[in-house]
Structure 1
Amino acid sequence: MTSCWRCGITQKIQGASDQDGDSLFYSLVPAQGSSGDTLIYNPGYDYLTPFHVLDSPLTIESQIGLLSFTPIAPAITSVLSIQINEYNANGILIGSVKNDMQVFINDSCVADTLNFLGDTTTPTGSHPAITVFCDTNKLLIHFDNPIQCETISLDGSDFILTVPIGGTLLIDSIGTPTCTGGLIDSIVLYLSETVRFNGSYFLYDTIGNDGTPILSICGLVLNDTLEIILNNCVKATVDLMNVTVVNNSDISLIWGKYTENFEDSYFIKYEVLRSTDPLGPYTVIDYVSTFEDTFYLDQNVSVSNQEYNYTIRMDLDPSLFLVPESDSIQSILLQSSPAPTNDTNEVDLFWTPYWGWTSPNYQIMKKTANGPWKRIHETSETNYRYMKPLLANNYELKIMTSDNTFGLYSESNWISFEIPIRQIPNVITPNGDDINDFFFVNERLLYEQVHLIVYNRWGMKVFEDLKYNNKWDGDNFVAKPLPDGTYYYVLKLTEGENKAGFVTIIR
């Protein structure tokens, strides 16, 4: 009987000589006890599966007798039986022999794992994990099972260390191991840079420059991952909070910053990046050199023709390997279809969505001439059908959305249009025939709060109405008819440009 104390063995059995040219064939057969009776395996096992392996059932190379396997849990003691048959050149069986082996699968060889010395941290997911401190450039690694010294690459190429911000951190070398009997249970990794970022690093083992993987005492490849959690490191983030059109001309940006364990000397500048496409590419258009300044006004824009996408990047000391950059935000571009000309009574407004905050509501704002902005509608959609007013005036429309949490708002460019007084008569004939009897400024459209003043040819004021309503029929202040002739009128408008001209009275 033969005992196997290591997992992952490769066993070659050769029980007969073939110097005379005879052929040997190897096969797995049921094992027999000392009395010649066939052994009975426990439930779930048989002579082809005497223990659990990665590739079940076991197979043996029939020509050379090579048997390779990698056992898995649980630990077990079992029997493996191999029969060798010898055939002559005519294919006639001329002899056979059978070898039985007792195989012991050791629990400690079932799963090798990487771990830090003294680690008692509960594994995160399927990976062992450990919390370490920042600003160290060496890691002490402990192996649950000793590893074979000859499989270690001293240049550190047996390991890959990933960084929380992406990429990898180069391992310069491995400290010279002190081996006992060709085995070692811990090594020191020397890193090219200190670890300095909050978050999780991941250490993977791989095949080094020597062409061999790290093997344990059991002959198994490690094939494992170790999570290394760092706290109290330098942390810096930048958050673009708002992008808004200002006075139908410029675009302003406001951002916030957050840092931990940060020194002012780390900061170099903020970079302002812009693109006309949300997917980029983004180009640096300017920078802000003061750490506390978190505002920028972009004056090199055409807000009525193009929406703009922005992001803010923090330029820090290169030794930090830290390049914080915000998410992008797009300005609101308001457009209309058709263009709001004098001949259209409806205008379809549509605008680009704003993603400066979640689920924004949009207010459609209107103002007349130099009057205040007033909200006329609110919607969560990015379109609205606007019914033009009947009153003649100069109008402007814009879109605005606000965030109550931080008291911010973002607005679009403006769309301007005029509802003109379509006709101002130059003759009235107040003779009672209902034709041109009144100084009717407009058939449908009239400025709000029109102030009408009428002067005679010598510049004397002969009529005035502070709130004119199309009822002047050529009378003076005391409702007496004015003489026929030409008079000068002034229409003073509360908002907008005054109108003036001549009107002739003919009776």
Structure 2
Amino acid sequence: MKKVLLLFGLAFPFLLKAQQDQIDYTSANDGATFSTCAGFIIDSGGQGGPGYSDNEDITITFCPPDPANDEIFIQFNLFNLDAVGGSADSMFVYDGDNTGAPLIGSYVDNELEGIVLAASATNPTGCITIRFVSDASGGGRFTAAVTCVAPCTPPIVDAIVSGIAGDSIPACLDVPLDFLNNGSYSPSGFNIVSYEWDFQDGSAPVAQENATHTFTEPGYYTPRLVVVDENGCESMNSTGLRVYVAPRPSFEGFPTDTTICLGQSISIEATPETYGNTWNGFPNSSTIADGCVDDEQYGIAQVHTLELGGYIPGATLTDISDLQSVCIEIEHSFIGDFVLQVQCATGQTVTLHQQGGGSANLGEPVQADNVDCDDPSTIGVGYNYCFTPTATQTWVDVAVGGASIPAGDYAPVGNLNDLIGCPLNDVWTIIFTDNWAADDGVIFGFSINVNPALLAENITIDVVVPEHQDSSYWTSSYPWGSISDNNNLFQGTPDQVGQYTLNYEVIDNFGCINDTSLVVNVEEPPVVQALDDILVCNTTGTDVVQLGATVTANGFSNLVYEWTSPDNLDNPNIINPNATVTGEETFTITVYPQGAPQCYSDDQMTVTVAIPENFGFDSDFFVCPGDEEFLFAADSLALESFEWISGGSVIGTNFSNYLPAGEYQASLVDSSGCTNDTLFIIDTQDKIILNDFSLVCDDTLFMFGNQGVTTGVWSVLDDLDVTFIDENDLNTNAVYEGMGTVGFVYSEDVCNDSDTTYVDFNRYPWTEARDSVLCRGSVYYVEALHLEQNETYSWDNGYEAQATNIDEPGEYTVTVSNSCGSYSHTILVDFILCDLEVPNVFTPNGDDLNDFFQLKEYDGLENFEIAILNRWGNVIRVYTSPDFKWDGTNEAGEELGEGVYFYNVKTETWNGEILEKHGFVQLIRE
């Protein structure tokens, strides 16, 4: 028979801290007995190891140190035996101090996972003996915690809030509530020795029998009171308290701060019936005040609870899809050696993670060993992980080395369907068991997310503010104001500048008092000052002018601007419109706060557009050579003032005046106030002096003279055909296509001045002659090209003439010269062989006289071929080189007989001329 104790009922006593004894299931401990209330059992693979080995058979006995007062419990938080092979690995549990005691049960695979073993009441020793046997193949792991507790019956807890019991306790934000023990007791007759309140709002638990707590966020809360009696037994039931903390009224539409003018009336009305507010939700999460996972109690389950509520009374989980997720916010180094489980109030348990994944991390842990729960620098960053019925991958499936597993949805290693039948309106538990001291972390919070459709109703907290005069009212009063009978309308006319605060209070249907306020700023009217009057000088008499003003708002915003004469303005309702003005016009600007036209100020500005007087003369002048000053004179002008300014100093105030050459500013102000300032230069025109161009070796001349001349015209003496690019420009180009002397004249009629220059036009010398190839023995008569500008000819063979005779090959250069320089041209002359000369008799007798038939000259021949034939036309020898020598033999080297032989020659000269020759030769051997 198996004795199974649910972990939920025993979890809290197991959390008592003590120095643990590590008990290794190795052959060294076979047959040993351990008396301990703080033991950690681990397979022979050790912490972080590969698991137990093959062919193990080890028996160990575990006993309580004080059997009369302690009862030993053994909880297997990891039990994963190899079930494959010749015989499954097994664990046998005996109710006594040896294997002869009654067998509690034999276990394989994962049958002891999460199971707690205890000695029976009839076992006088209080000991449990465990034998582990592994076969010859496979492997697995197991760990367990050994603890002792005195058998107990959980105490019963009851509580009230500020004298109110039940599940509908109204509360206000930031208002303290008294949470009171209401007769909690221990049925076994023990006394309660500790109390702890958990308000389920993320605040730290309070270890007091009675506590005062203030909720700072609206919502639906299920506070829990946990009591422990002197036997160490802890209460398991719910208080049943349900606290509804009302949200503050929305005050939506409540009047906002405003600014008015002194003497302006206000009327401010509150509408309390619109200030209601609603909170929606239900508690399905828990922020764990102490979720620090240390290394002192490995193998001991750490338990964190959450109480759900608000569901249909008696509701249980009937469809796993209604369990939307089990989420945990955690950071932890090395996931390969801890177990994470979720458990409901009935003890039904599902393993979310069971070791595996090696050195992968959760969140961003601080890798240095040993989290210090009092030192935030040792605590890492938690990620939120959710286990859902639809996810397909476990943590182990995605684990990679020492990397962090990403936040998101995952599948548990167990089956969430094992939670079918769990009650919803009760306590749910997260169980964390670490089996290795070399890693640690922090659990920040967890949540159980259930289909909201299972709620008894859509849990809302509706805040309503009644319209009664004793539920909503203005609390501020001023001598200049009054409040209506229903206390919701405030009216009045402030009689002094200042800031007035109006407070408004409401009492909602929860009895909560909340208030809000607004500020009325009473200011002097805004002050506007238009820009100074504007004078615009425009020769058309009409101009577009931008108006403007400066405004002192005195605390007002949303000011309204109004300009008069709107027909002349592009936008009369802005502070700086554009006005089209002819002559003189006055504009008025009025400024007031929006909606308060009686709270205004105004100002005016005048715009005048006048046509300015004109000087009546050009801006630049010059005097002729020999003159010293220029006389300014004009008709009478309607002037207020006139000044001649030179070098920054006023040198005269009369419009008509003699001025020497120089730079001046003439400045006048006419009777309308328009100014006219002109900068100009009075310059003395230079006498015309043309540059001397004695010789131009081209047909184009760039003419230029002194720069002081402003106007004039070019002409040519002797009526020659000369083209000017610009005949009025002193610095222009002149084109003359002939040769000879040309006289150029530039004259101007302002000062009647002129100058003449003479230019000789010539051309650069140039010639050419032809290259030639002639037959040897010829004479080449070559004549250089003659141009008009060529004055002398010279050949480098000594001839001083246009033509010369050449009878030798080589390069010959002719040079032509004139006043513009010289030019040389080189030709190439060559003489080639024009005929093939061969003997008609030869005597190959070895006397070194006429021994061969051969060409007398063969330089310059290419692509040569000669064929020698006998009298019957048969070819007897063929040569392809022009330096051939026929000695009267055939191809085999045999001497031929005397007689006549024929030859055919075909070749090509180096310049491509084809030569052919046919004939005969007589061979004589004497």
TM-score normalised by the chain length of structure 1: 0.35
| Structure with bigger RCO (C-alpha 8 Å, 6+ apart) | 1
If you compute each CA radius of gyration, which structure gives the higher value, 1 or 2? 2
